[in-house]
Chain A
Amino acid sequence: MKDDEINDGSVENPGSSRRGFLKQSSALAALAMTPPAALTAVEKGLDEKLAVAFEQIPLKVEINGAMQQLKIEPRVTLLDLLREQLNLTGTKKGCDYGQCGACTVHVDGQRVNACLTLAMTTDGCKVTTIEGLAEGGPEGKLHPMQEAFIKHDGFQCGYCTPGQIMSAVACIREGHAKNPDEIREYMSGNICRCGAYSNIVDAIMDVKQGGAKV
């Protein structure tokens, strides 16, 4: 075979077009209102900073009982907001594609993959992460599911564990923990590569049968 060249024929990225539009419209808006500072900014090539300011949108969300008033880019996922901006690193990034469940949190009581949730869509919602699961906070008394995971050793490396626990709590609340087979089915969105499944199922059954409020 002789050497050949491939060129992916790169096209203008739609993202950059959108950004271009935003820059343009923000500059136009600035012109219309004629604030001299904005005009100077555009002239000095600081239009990018202006565009950035326009791209920050307000977000009001209750996370683990505390109201957060934030300004974020619309493309930020709930997962990256928690981990990179709010230092709530208990929620894990396992795949970023919604395939592993490591980032499972509760939004208004429902389990969701935080990596597939744009943070802005949680405006006005209540988000609970692993850090907010125990009523007494991280240093206080553990949630029954956390206790059960320790008792049954439902983990090894611990990386999928917060997602497993958030999912397990929701699994019981949903009424999907009637027996081990049902638990296996409804917990299959949470991958554990260390393979602690057998112990995780035991932990969930224990909590279910113990009757504690989850």
Chain B
Amino acid sequence: MTKDTKNPPIDRVDGRMKVTGGAKYFAEFEMPNTTYCVIVGSEIAKGAIASLDTKKAAGAPGVLGVFTHQNMPPIPGWDAPVQGNGNGPPPGPPSGGEKYRILHTNKILFYGQPMAMVVADTFERATYAASLVKATYTKQPHQTDLTKNLEKGVTPKGPRFEDYLRGNADAYKSAPVTLEVKYTIPIEVHQPMELHGVLAGWTGDDKVMVYAKTQGVKGTQKSVAEAFKIDPNNVHVHTEFMGGGFGMGLRTWPQEIAVVAIAKKVGRPVKLVITRNQMFSLVGHRPTTVQTINMGADTNGKLVGLSHAATGETATYEDFTEGTVSMTKFMYACPNVSTKYKIVPLDRGVPIWMRGPGEATGAFALESAMDEMATKLKLDPIEFRLRNYTETDPEHNRPYSDKNLKEAYQKGAEAIGWSSRKAEPGSNRDSDWLVGYGMSSGTFNASKGGATARAVLNADGTLLLQCSVTDIGPGTGTAMTMIAHNVLGVPVEKIKVEYGDSALPNSPQQGGSTITSTVGSAVHQVCTSVKKSLIDMATQSGTPLAGIKADDLTVADGFVSADGDSSKKVAIADLLKKANLTTLDKTEESKANGKPDEQKYSMYSFSVHFVQVRVNPSTGVVRVSKAVSVADSGRIISPKTAASQMIGGVAGGIGMALTEEAVIDHRFGRIVNNNLADYHVAVSADVPHTETIVIDKPDPYINPMGAKGMGEIALIGFAAAVANAVFNATGQRIRDLPITPDKLLRTA
């Protein structure tokens, strides 16, 4: 089978495990004598602990230890970087602030910062004891409001974040039609359904078992090994199933390291499952970001100039950066483009990439502005995009490896019924509701990293695949199965995939829409190697296939057979027997593609989102009544799980557009809606039936499968499609997410 064949939809290979409760997540593994850890967080945003009374907690029933900065067991690698998760040390703080080390000093750098970790023999006892820890503080004034600190913005180090300019930065000003607008997004928080935490137990003086909630077991292994200055081979990390990540598992969090240290001290395994409240302060968030777009176009609808400036938050103790302005540099044909990106250190916990990451933030601004300009030009928003369509990447002056965005626009428009859209905003009414249509595009870098995979073909025709990659939900195991099936012809039900364990061959962390490309390439390569060995064995002299070229042979269903003459075939089992082998066992490393800047082609995945909204002008309620998302991300390996990624992006996008906002009470520097009743993620009633369309054409350059990622593009741009549809329905342009009823009623 070749990459030119579309793949059939197959059921998720771990489906049965997930529907029976058999899939085990980190907190569900049994370690004898496990103890329970509960974190006591600070009640101020900045200052110092003046006093910490742990006596009552320490004396409470079942308590094995109350750990604070005063008695925390040493972590030998504290002075070595422990937080880079395999990507090197974290960048230093931009403002010269100090690094954050958990339970290290009495200084408080953000609200909810762990002050004490209480360990007891049951969860209930640990929780009760934690309630007895009392602190007094020396408070210092804190800064948690980005909008009041914009002037403190600094440009992060590194070429990716330098100010960008092509042509003339001021060109937009003299264009016939101009637009100068500001967009803001609030703090959003990942909130996967599984609570974060870790379960760790030492099995020797320098050996530890860690059940983690991580998007990369190898990264966690490295972090723990560095923190405790032990051999990485002595750190066993397991995360076969992860109950959602969306980016929050892309690093090892300080409390994970603390639990490993405490487990050593108490001499028993320690389980930490943080509370849903703590999920708002201890494991990152999408940073609130303020953006301005300045755009100029001529009367023919051609962009003359485009400027995009973004300022997002980071922590005082660590830089956080993302590609907020990336898309603006290459998405449209425009001779004059400038971008600026800055970060502002605040007295808050550090952000972490959240699905789509900065690109989703940036796309909200850019794709809203494109809609605003189309309105000024009295052009259909699709037509405006087509007039500025580019077949070559204007940032790097080179072709895209593959881009089918025009086809995506057309297919999406047909599916949503774009022809029903009325150009005049507010003119489409259905009884009490105003109806509107909106669209947007998204894009994200497509890459291929390095990974290693093992394939073991058994005489009984079954195949075992191994790689340490974590499957946080997109269906990595299913995609790997499909790739192996395509190369070796082993029926999917005879393929077993093992993953999510640091003892397995190397994989990067699951993030940045790269795993199908990266690990998929390794699986493809090792299976191709197995296939080559089989063919070599099958074509030796004296066999029915002797002398036949490899290209004229097919490996499928347990046989190597000659194309066009099915009578000429050899059973794989016989080949192994003849060679005195019980298995054919190979491990191969697939190399990363070179640096993006050194490539001949620009490689991106693209998406187009269409929505129909219904807005009630009396209440300001917005309902997304139809949604269509189109993905142009190369060959689709696993159509069923890929479609689920796309509909998941729609649900996440509806939340981003309409409901999600973590609200800080700046008097105290804390998030007040730190639970799922008050921080509104989309629920079933918010999400309509969602149609997904895939272009499904192989990218000829990225990897042997022609497959590109789609996890990010499923979300990137979606919020703009909703905002644009709300404008079409009502004539009201909301530039400040989320689009809540109060904003529509205020501007009505």
Chain A residues in the interface with B (C-beta under 8 A)? 1, 3-8, 10, 13, 15-16, 19, 48, 51-52, 73, 75-76, 80, 83-84, 87-97, 99-100, 102, 129-131, 134, 138, 142, 146, 149-151, 153, 155-162, 165, 180, 183-185, 187-201
For residue B718, give the distance in angstroms from its CB to the closest CB of chain A: 11
Segment from B372-380, B384-392, B580-588, B647-655 that makes contact with A: B647-655
Contact A130 B21 (CB under 8 A): yes
Given contacts A97-B675, A193-B193, A199-B647, contact A150 B19 (CB under 8 A): yes
Q: Are A92 and B124 in contact (CB under 8 A)?
A: no
Cα–Cα, bound, A83→B23 (Å): 13
CB distance from A142 to the nearest CB of B (A): 7
Which A residue sits closest to B14, measured CB to CB?
A: A158
Q: Which residues of A contact B647 (CB under 8 A)?
A: 195-199
Contact B276 A153 (CB under 8 A): no
CA distance A52 to B63 in the complex (A): 13
Q: Are the CB atoms of A97 and B276 closer together than 8 Å? A: yes
Neighbouring B residues of A156 by C-beta, 8 Å:
244, 473-475, 641, 644-645, 648
| Structural contact, A90 and B473, CB atoms closer than 8 A | no
Q: Are B193 and A102 in contact (CB under 8 A)?
A: yes
Report Cα–Cα, A146/B23, bound state, in Å: 14
Chain A nearest CB from B508 CB (Å) reads: 19
Q: Does B191 contact A (CB under 8 A)?
A: yes
A-B contact pairs, 10 of them (CB 8 A): A15-B128, A84-B123, A89-B27, A99-B676, A100-B193, A142-B19, A150-B19, A158-B18, A192-B684, A198-B651
Please name all residues of chain B whose beta carbon is closer than 8 Å to the beta carbon of A10 when the two chains form the complex.
Answer: 53, 134
Closest to A102 in B: B193
Is the CB–CB distance between A195 and B124 below 8 Å? no
Residue of A nearest to B128 (CB): A15
List 19 additional contacts besides A190-B683, A193-B193; criterion CB under 8 Å: A10-B53, A16-B60, A73-B122, A87-B30, A92-B193, A97-B676, A99-B276, A100-B193, A131-B21, A153-B641, A153-B643, A156-B641, A160-B243, A161-B18, A162-B21, A187-B684, A188-B683, A193-B244, A197-B647
Known contacts being A84-B122, A192-B193, is A149 close to B19, with CB within 8 Å?
yes
- The minimal Cβ–Cβ distance linking B221 to chain A, given in whole angstroms, is 22
Residue of B nearest to A155 (CB): B18
Instruction: Write out the residue numbers on chain A whose beta carbons fall within 8 Å of the beta carbon of B124.
Output: 73, 75-76, 80
For A196, the chain B residues whose CB sits under 8 A away are: 644, 647-648, 651
Q: Which residues of A contact B24 (CB under 8 A)?
A: 89
Interface residues of B in 642-683 (CB under 8 A from A): 643-645, 647-652, 675-677, 681-683
Shortest CB distance A130–B (Å)? 4
Residues B44 and A6 in contact, CB atoms below 8 Å apart: yes
Q: Say which residue of A7, A52, A99, A197 sits within 8 Å of B687 (CB atoms).
A: A197
**Complex-state Cα separation, A73 to B53, whole angstroms:** 27
Q: Given A83, A142, A159, which contacts B194 in the complex, CB threshold below 8 Å?
A: A159
Q: How far is the CA of A99 from the CA of B276 in the complex (A)?
A: 10
Are the C-beta atoms of A142 and B20 separated by less than 8 Å? yes
The reply to whether A191 and B681 contact each other, CB–CB distance below 8 Å, is: yes
Stretch of B135-143, B169-177, B407-415 lying at the A interface? B135-143
Which A residues are in CB contact (< 8 Å) with B651? 192, 194-198
Say yes or no: is B689 at the interface (Cβ < 8 Å to chain A): yes
A189 to B683, CA, bound (A): 8
Interface string of B699-716 (1 = CB under 8 A from A): 000000000000000000
Which B residues lie at the A interface, using CB under 8 A?
11-12, 14-25, 27-28, 30, 43-44, 47, 50, 53, 56, 60-61, 122-124, 128, 131-132, 134-141, 190-195, 241-246, 273, 275-276, 472-475, 640-641, 643-645, 647-652, 675-677, 681-690
Say whether, besides A158-B17, A159-B193, A194 and B648 are in contact (CB < 8 Å).
yes
Most A CB within 10 A of own CB, among B132, B241, B644:
B644
Which residues on B sit within 8 Å (CB–CB) of A134? 20
For B689, the chain A residues whose CB sits under 8 A away are 180, 198, 201
Alpha-carbon distance A194/B30, docked complex (angstroms): 27
Residues B640 and A153 in contact, CB atoms below 8 Å apart: yes
Do A191 and B241 have beta carbons less than 8 Å apart?
no
Q: Which residues of A contact B246 (CB under 8 A)?
A: 193
| B137: A residues at CB distance < 8 A | 5-6
- Closest B residue by C-beta to A183: B684
Instruction: Tell which of A73, A87, A193 touches B192, judged by Cβ atoms closer than 8 Å.
Output: A193
Q: Tell me whether A1 and B649 are in contact in the complex, defined as CB-CB below 8 angstroms, given that A13-B131, A153-B644, A188-B685 are known contacts.
A: no
A111 to B236, CA, bound (A): 39
Contact A165 B193 (CB under 8 A): no
Residues in chain B near residue A142, CB distance under 8 A: 16, 19-20
With contact pairs A92-B193, A153-B640 given, residues A129 and B15 touching in the complex (Cβ less than 8 Å): no
Query: Cβ of B641: which chain A residues have Cβ within 8 Å of it?
Result: 153, 156
Question: Chain A nearest CB: distance from B269 CB in Å?
Answer: 13
Contacts of B14 in A (CB 8 A): 158
Nearest CB in chain B: distance from A82 CB, A: 10
Residue of B nearest to A51 (CB): B61
8 Å CB contact of B675 from A19, A84, A99: A99
B192, A157: Cβ atoms under 8 Å?
A: yes
Tell whether, in the assembled complex, residue A198 and residue B20 are in contact, meaning their CB atoms are under 8 Å apart: no
- What is the CB-to-nearest-CB distance from B52 to chain A, in angstroms, rounded to a whole number? 12
Q: Are B644 and A199 in contact (CB under 8 A)?
A: yes
A90 to B243, alpha carbons, bound, how many Å? Answer: 12
A193-B640 contact given A52-B61, A96-B276, A130-B21, CB 8 Å threshold: no
Contact B241 A157 (CB under 8 A): yes
* Contact pick for B243, options A159, A185, A189, CB 8 Å: A159
State whether B473 touches A158 (Cβ < 8 A): yes
CA distance A90 to B139 in the complex (A): 44
Measured between C-beta atoms, what is the minimum distance from A106 to chain B in Å? 14
The distance in angstroms between the C-alpha atoms of A145 and B456, with both chains bound, is: 35
In the complex, chain A residues whose CB is within 8 Å of the CB of B682: 195, 197
Chain A neighbourhood of B30, CB < 8 A:
87
A31–B381 Cα distance when bound, in Å, is 85
Taken together as a complex, chains A and B put the C-alpha atoms of A123 and B24 apart, in Å, by 28
Nearest chain B CB to A198's CB is how many angstroms away? 4
Complex: A200 Cα to B190 Cα, angstroms: 21
A5 close to B19 (CB less than 8 A): no
Tell me which residues across on chain A come within 8 A of B275, comparing CB atoms. 96
Chain B residue contacts of A185, Cβ below 8 A? 684-685
Q: Does the CB pair A157–B676 fall under 8 Å?
A: no
Minimum C-beta distance from A18 to chain B (A): 11
Q: Within the complex, which residue of B20, B195, B276, B643 is in contact with A138, where a contact is CB–CB below 8 Å?
A: B20
CA distance A89 to B194 in the complex (A): 12
- Expressed in whole angstroms, the Cα–Cα distance for A27 and B652 within the complex equals 57
B473 touches A194 (CB 8 A): yes
A102 to B192, CA, bound (A): 11
Complex alpha-carbon distance, A15 and B641, angstroms: 49
Inter-subunit contact B473/A157 (CB<8 Å): yes
Residues of B within 8 A of A15 (CB): 128, 131
Complexed CA–CA distance, A6 and B51 (Å): 11
Determine whether the beta carbon of A3 is less than 8 Å from that of B140: yes
**What is the minimal beta-carbon distance from B131 to any residue of chain A, in angstroms?**
6
CB-based contact B15/A138 at 8 Å: no
| Bound: A131/B134 CA distance, A | 41
Minimum distance in angstroms from A47 CB to a CB of chain B: 11
How far, in whole Å, are A184 and B60 apart by their CA atoms in the complex? Answer: 46
Tell whether, in the assembled complex, residue B644 and residue A91 are in contact, meaning their CB atoms are under 8 Å apart.
no
Contacts of B684 in A (CB 8 A): 183-185, 187-188, 190, 192, 197, 200-201
User: Measured between alpha carbons, how far is A203 from B123 in the docked complex, in Å?
Assistant: 36
**B626, chain A: closest CB distance, angstroms:** 11
Q: Which residues of A contact B685 (CB under 8 A)?
A: 184-185, 188
- Known contacts A13-B131, A197-B651; A92/B22 CB under 8 A: no
Return chain A residues, CB-CB under 8 Å to B276. Answer: 94-97, 99-100
Choice from B43, B47, B192 contacting A3 with Cβ under 8 Å: B47
